Amino acid sequence: MTYRVGIDIGGTFTDFALLKDGQVVLHKNLSTPEDRSLGVMEGLGKLAEKEGLDLTTFLSRCDAVVHGTTVADNTLIEMNGALTGLITTEGFRDEIEYRRGYKEDIWDVRLAPPKQITPRRRRLTVAERVLHDGSVHKALDEDSVRHACRQLKKQGVESLAVSLLFAHVNSAHERRVSEIAAEELPGVAVSLSHEVLPRAPEYDRTSTTVVNAFVAPRVTNYLERLVTRLRDGGYPGQLMVMQASGGVMSVNYIEGSPIRVLASGPAGGVIGSAHVGTAKGHPNLLCVDMGGTSYDMSLVLGGAAPAEAGWNMHHRYLIGVPMVKVETLGAGGGSICHVNAGALQVGPRSAGSEPGPIAYGRGGTEPTVTDALVMLGILSTEEGFAGGSFRLTRAGVEEAFAAIGAEMGTSAEQAAFDCWRVVNANMSQGVRRTTAGKGVDPKDLVMLAYGGNGPAFAAIQAEDLGISKVLVPKASPTFSALGTLVADPAIDEERSLIAKANALDLPKLRDLWSELCDRATRYFTAAGFAKDAVIASYRVNMRYAGQNFSLTFDIAPEGKLGDLSFVKDGLGARAIAAFNARHMAEYNHIRDHEVPEVTGVRLASRVPTPSPSATGGAVTPSTPPAPAKTRRANLGQGFANTPVYLGSQLAPGHLVQSPAIIEEVFTTIVVYPGWQAQVDAAGDYELVRT
Partner 1 sequence: MSFELNRKLAAPRAPLPTAANIDPVTADIIRGAFETVCFEAATHLGRAASSPIINSSNERNAAIVDANGRLAMGAIGTPQLTFVNQMMVRWALMNMAEYDIGPGDVLLSNDPDHGGGHLPDYCVYAPVYSADGELIVFVSLQAHQGDTGGKDPGGFTLEATDIFTEGVTFPCLKLVHRGARRKDVFDMVVRNNRFATIAGDLAAMIGGVEIAAQRLSALTAHHGADVIKAAINHSISHTERRMKEEFSAWPDGTYEGTVLIDADTMGTKDVKVHVACTVQGDRLTVDLTGTDDRQELVGVWNTFANSRSYVMTQVVAMVDPTIVKNEGVFNAVEIIIPEGCIAQPPPNKPAALGSFHPACEITEAVCLALSAVVPERAQPQLYKIGMPNAVIGFDANGMWMDQGVDCRSMDSSAVQGIDGWGSCPASLGNLLLSEAEDAEARFPILNISREMTTDGGGAGQWRGSPGSLNVKQVLSPTMAMAWMVSADHPLRGMCGGDDAIPYSNHFEWGSPGQYKIERTAQAQLPQDAVIAYQHGGGAGFGPALKRDPKAVKEDVLDEYVSLDAARSKYGVVLTGSLEDYTLEVDHAATEALRQQMGAAA
How far apart CA 95 and CA 76 sit, in angstroms, is 20
Residue 530 contacts partner 1 per CB under 8 A: no
Q: Which of 433, 533, 608, 681 binds partner 1 (CB under 8 A)?
A: 433
Residues between 282 and 311 that touch partner 1 (CB under 8 A): none
Residue 249 contacts partner 1 per CB under 8 A: no
Total number of residues that touch partner 1 (CB under 8 A) = 69
The 8 Å CB, 24+ separation contacts for 339-344 are 339/404, 339/407, 339/408, 344/404, 344/408, 344/415, 344/418, 344/419, 344/422
Residue 109 contacts partner 1 per CB under 8 A: yes
What is the nearest approach in angstroms of partner 1 to the Cβ of residue 46? 42
- Closest-CA residue to 471 (of 267, 690, 679, 246): 679
Buried b (16+ CB within 10 A) or exposed e, 462-501: bbbbebbbbbbbbbbbbbbbbbbbbbbbbbbbbbbbbeeb
Strands (E), 270-320: 285-290, 295-300, 307-308, 313-314, 317-318
Site map 378..417 versus partner 1, x via CB under 8 A: ------------------------------x---------
Strand partners, 29: 14
C-alpha distances in Å from residue 263, one per residue of 255, 296, 542, 563 = 16, 11, 25, 32
What is the nearest approach in angstroms of partner 1 to the Cβ of residue 638? 15
Residue 97 contacts partner 1 per CB under 8 A: yes
Q: Based on CB atoms, which residue is closest to partner 1, 93 or 225?
A: 93
**With CB under 8 A as the contact rule, which of the stretches 52-60, 102-110, 361-369, 502-510 interacts with partner 1?**
102-110
Strand order, beta sheet including 446-450: 327-329, 295-300, 285-290, 446-450, 469-472, 685-689, 675-679, 655-657
Q: Which of 2, 56, 411, 429 binds partner 1 (CB under 8 A)?
A: 429
How far apart CA 133 and CA 512 sit, in angstroms, is 15
Q: Which of 155, 630, 637, 641 binds partner 1 (CB under 8 A)?
A: 155
Strand partners, 335: 350
Residue 327 contacts partner 1 per CB under 8 A: no
Residue 21 contacts partner 1 per CB under 8 A: no
Q: Which of 21, 34, 52, 154 binds partner 1 (CB under 8 A)?
A: 154
What is the nearest approach in angstroms of partner 1 to the Cβ of residue 651? 38
Interior angle at CA 403, CA 401 and CA 408, nearest 5: 90
Cβ–Cβ < 8 Å for 87, 145: yes
Residue 115 contacts partner 1 per CB under 8 A: no
Q: Which of 299, 376, 422, 603 binds partner 1 (CB under 8 A)?
A: 422
What is the nearest approach in angstroms of partner 1 to the Cβ of residue 284? 19
What is the nearest approach in angstroms of partner 1 to the Cβ of residue 98? 4
C-alpha distances in Å from residue 541, one per residue of 158, 311, 500, 581 = 34, 15, 12, 14
C-alpha distances in Å from residue 650, one per residue of 225, 280, 452, 581, 616 = 42, 20, 19, 48, 15
How far apart CA 507 and CA 671 sit, in angstroms, is 60
Site map 328..367 versus partner 1, x via CB under 8 A: ------------xxxxx-----------------------
Phi, psi of 501 (to 5 degrees): -65, -15
Interior angle at CA 200, CA 194 and CA 203, nearest 5: 95
**With CB under 8 A as the contact rule, which of the stretches 106-114, 190-198, 571-579, 622-630 interacts with partner 1?**
106-114
Site map 489..518 versus partner 1, x via CB under 8 A: ---------x--------------------
Site map 613..652 versus partner 1, x via CB under 8 A: ----------------------------------------
**With CB under 8 A as the contact rule, which of the stretches 96-104, 188-196, 290-298, 522-530 interacts with partner 1?**
96-104
What is the nearest approach in angstroms of partner 1 to the Cβ of residue 402? 17
Residue 143 contacts partner 1 per CB under 8 A: no
Phi, psi of 435 (to 5 degrees): -85, -15
Q: Based on CB atoms, which residue is closest to partner 1, 163 or 257?
A: 163
Residues between 172 and 211 that touch partner 1 (CB under 8 A): 200-204
Cβ–Cβ < 8 Å for 389, 28: yes
Q: Which of 436, 530, 565, 592 binds partner 1 (CB under 8 A)?
A: 436
Cβ–Cβ < 8 Å for 434, 397: no
Q: Based on CB atoms, which residue is closest to partner 1, 439 or 621?
A: 439
Site map 209..248 versus partner 1, x via CB under 8 A: ----------------------------------------
What is the nearest approach in angstroms of partner 1 to the Cβ of residue 501? 14
Q: How far apart are the first and last CA of the chain?
A: 43
What is the nearest approach in angstroms of partner 1 to the Cβ of residue 545? 6
Q: Based on CB atoms, which residue is closest to partner 1, 588 or 620?
A: 588
Q: Based on CB atoms, which residue is closest to partner 1, 533 or 545?
A: 545
What is the nearest approach in angstroms of partner 1 to the Cβ of residue 399? 21
Beta carbons within 10 angstroms of residue 278's beta carbon:
17
Q: Based on CB atoms, which residue is closest to partner 1, 498 or 669?
A: 498
DSSP 303: T
Cβ–Cβ < 8 Å for 352, 293: yes
**With CB under 8 A as the contact rule, which of the stretches 115-123, 252-260, 373-381, 680-688 interacts with partner 1?**
115-123
- Say how many residues make up the chain: 690
Q: Which of 57, 115, 388, 587 binds partner 1 (CB under 8 A)?
A: 587
Under the rule (CB under 8 A), what is the footprint of partner 1?
90-95, 97-113, 119-121, 131-132, 137, 151, 154-155, 165-166, 200-204, 340-344, 408, 418, 421-422, 425-426, 428-429, 432-433, 436-437, 498, 544-549, 586-589, 591, 593
